[in-house]
Chain A
Amino acid sequence: MNWKTFVALLWRDARVARRNVVPLLLQTFLQPMMFVFIFGRVMVSSGYMPAAYKSLLLPGIMAISMVFTGVWAVAMPLIAEFQFTHEIEDRLLAPIENDWIAIEKVLFGAAQAVVAGLGVIPAAWVLLRPGLELNLPSPLTFAVVTLLVALFSACGGLALGCSVGQNQIGLMFSMVLTPMIFFGCTYYPWSALANFPILQKAVLVNPLVYASEGLRGTLVPQFPHLPIVAVLLALLIFDSLLLMVGLRQFRHKAVT
């Protein structure tokens, strides 16, 4: 591993991100903010939702925002660079093992996901106050969960970005991301599925469930949530699995 090359690759992505900072911010925060506003403010103040829903909703929105950003930040450039512009070829010829080029993408995507996740908190706090009750019993556990969620989304982006053809991008969102979000315990806690026992078991294959429940358990532990140990373990497994699949797909793309 050649750290000078690795840092230069990160630096290149940072330069591109800085150049696109306004569209990037809009893309990251606009949707979650509208969601928070409608469900946390409009629905609650009009009495259709109880006041506690504000706090219950926030970790789920945070998880969606992170997963969406991480997948988008890694998958979309990979699809474009491998299939349209071929611009990744210059980096594949840089003096570093190809795997590190993929890992750099994952790290940069994960960093963007962390920003997207943490950025939701102050923005939501402004929109939802008063009545937002955040508790942070263990900042360290929260940080670990956030990091694992960011990595899972970026690794997922790597696996998807190297598996999806250019004409399947729409399908990737409607067939993979949308069901993941709706069955990902984002808008409701996992325990709310108790009336649907089969569904409740089935959604456990969805990594987003652990992301939402983990953030819920570390940010608003007053609501029911999955045990943190189970969440950490599951996220760790999904992170490693998606990274392995992603790297394998990346190698197939990088070398013919």
Chain B
Amino acid sequence: MIAGIRTHELRKVYTSAPPLAAGGGFGPRRKSKNQPAREVVALDGLSLNVTGGEIFGLLGPNGAGKSTTVGILTTRVRPTSGQAWIGEYDVWAQQVEVKRLIGVVGQRPNLDFALTAREILVFHGAYFGIDTRTRTTRATELLDRFKLSDRADQLVRGFSGGMMQRLAIARAMMHDPQVLFLDEPSAGLDPQTRLLLWEIIREYNQSGKTILLTTHNMEEADALCQRLAIIDHGRNIALGTPAELKASVPGGFLLRLRFGTHSPALFEQLKTLVGVREVRVQDDGDSNADVYADRGGSLVSEIANLAATTSVELSDVHISEPSLENLFLHHTGRSLRE
């Protein structure tokens, strides 16, 4: 059976005490016992269930809790409460068993700068107890697959960002893990390499592996993931296939409108237009409205007419087609890019 991923009510609160004080050794201490440490809630009761063999995406803006989730699932972050499992193993209690099952590509580069590209792969294989011949062959294959063969025997210090990222992914696949974690895998990659990466991820998944990736790129989530969880403020706010999620947005199309003056009457009239499913007046700028509808461009002239008859100036229109961005906006009122 292919190992899946499960979390139950994961919570993680970071206390921003100075890192040195954590050990109580040499660092400065908090000035007063009464002064509370500033707390940052990164995860707030996150429950996920990733079936073995699927490509699952965590989509959310920066600071949503994606990397913390990956950190907990890969033994690098201690959850404040809640539990997580990889396959049948409890991540916190059975770390070694879990580490054997997983491969991890972190968000920041963490290659061994003292080694060459080939050595990085071969030593990684050795850490996992793979015999010499197998690890040498597999390293050569992976270097070839990731188009790194010509630089294989150079120290990675001089590698470009894209090459380092490719090598980091090759390394994570070196011991053929059942579950592969990719934290923002295509950040900083050129479009061509991104396509190569997508192809490799799909292929790896087809060989029967579970993949969890985080991204704030909707195109990537859409193209790659079989199911997605949309995360915001450490909570799961929507879950489903990309198609299901997109269909859950009323209408699918989103028209973001800005008016010269605030007119509640106009907003009421907008709702009566054919095809309009929902009108949301934004809380902060009260002359802005988001219109969810099942058509896009053809609505603009009608809206403009309505505005003209109520003597309100329509100053800006932005139309987006059905997308995960719209979905995120619909659930949170904020854009993914904000």
Where the two chains meet, the residues of A that have a C-beta atom closer than 8 Å to any C-beta of B are 2, 4-5, 8-9, 11-12, 15-16, 19-20, 85-98, 159, 162-165, 245, 248-249, 252, 254-256
Contacts and interface: CB of A to CB of B under 8 A. Distances in A.
Interface string B113-135: 11100011001101111000000
Contact of B106 (A12, A19, A89, A252): A89
Contacts, number: 101
Nearest to B98: A95
A90 B96 contact: no
Contact of A8 (B23, B111, B127, B171): B127
A256 B76 contact: yes
Contact of B127 (A94, A159, A249): A94
A19 B157 CA distance: 14
A46 to B, nearest CB: 43
Given A95-B128, A159-B25, A165-B20, 18 more contacts: A2-B96, A8-B126, A15-B123, A85-B112, A86-B109, A89-B106, A90-B110, A91-B127, A93-B102, A94-B127, A95-B127, A97-B95, A97-B96, A165-B19, A248-B23, A255-B76, A255-B77, A255-B78
Nearest to B125: A8
Most interface-central of A4, A87, A252 (chain B CB within 10 A): A87
10 contacts: A85-B112, A86-B106, A87-B111, A93-B74, A93-B75, A95-B127, A162-B23, A163-B27, A256-B77, A256-B78
Contacts of A92: 75-76
Nearest to B177: A93
Interface residues of B, number: 39
Interface in B222-272: none
B142 interface: no
B71 interface: yes
- Interface SS majority for chain A: helix
Contacts of B23: 162-163, 248-249, 252
Contact of A16 (B27, B96, B115, B171): B115
Interface string B53-78: 00000000000000000010011111
Contacts of A245: 25
B144 to A, nearest CB: 21
B29 interface: no
B126 A93 contact: no
B159 interface: no
A75 B100 CA distance: 28
Contacts of A16: 114-115
A191 B84 CA distance: 60
B171 A5 contact: no
A95 B99 contact: yes
B22 to A, nearest CB: 5
Interface in B294-321: none
Nearest to A248: B23
Nearest to A176: B26
A94 B99 contact: yes
Contact of A93 (B26, B104, B115, B120): B104
Nearest to A250: B23
A88 B111 CA distance: 9
B129 A4 contact: yes
A252 B109 CA distance: 21
B166 to A, nearest CB: 15
A252 B112 CA distance: 21
